[in-house]
């Protein structure tokens, strides 16, 4: 997402309306995806998520994508504030990606390959 939003903002737009719409759509799609991840996590029975999992895999991505939707809508009205929100959301998503990748690698290595195959979502 960070790369996509960066590409949107580097395009030579004539005003802030179109990139605002693009960022709002990306935020909405990301929010829908986060809800899908949450629903799948609630349905699976192989692994019982702990509070850290709920925070990093469900809550924080939803917050970041909801903030992106809000910022996209506000971009043409309050550009400076909206751009700070987009930047913060992108940074949060990068941190979430790093944390979740590290968490997955740690889980797979500590539980061995046989258990890792069973724990896939």
Whether pLDDT at 87 is above 60: yes
In a domain, 4, yes or no: no
Whether 2 is in a domain gets the answer: no
Per the domain annotation, does 5 fall within a domain?
Answer: no
The whole-model pTM stands at: 0.85
- Angle at Cα 89 formed by Cα 73 and Cα 10, nearest 5°? 70
What are the pLDDT digits (tens) for 10-37? 999 999 999 999 999 999 999 999 999 9
Residue 70 tokens, joined: 């809000």
Q: How many structural domains compose the chain? A: 1
In a domain, 6, yes or no: no
Share of the chain above pLDDT 70, in %: 92
Range of the domain at 21: 16-118
Cα–Cα distance, 114 to 42 (Å, whole number):
23
Residue 46 lies in a domain: yes
């Amino acid at each position: 997402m960070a790369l996509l939003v960066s590409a949107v903002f580097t395009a030579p737009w004539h005003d802030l309306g179109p990139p605002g719409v693009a960022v709002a759509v990306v935020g909405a799609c990301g929010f829908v995806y986060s809800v899908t991840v949450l629903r799948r996590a609630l349905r699976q029975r192989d692994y019982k998520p702990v509070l850290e999992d709920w925070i990093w895999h469900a809550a924080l991505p939803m917050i970041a994508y909801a903030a992106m939707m809000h910022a996209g809508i506000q971009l043409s009205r309050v550009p400076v504030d909206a751009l700070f929100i987009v930047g913060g959301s992108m940074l949060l998503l990068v941190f979430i990606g790093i944390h979740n990748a590290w968490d997955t690698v740690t889980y797979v290595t500590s539980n061995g390959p046989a258990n890792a195959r069973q724990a896939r979502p």
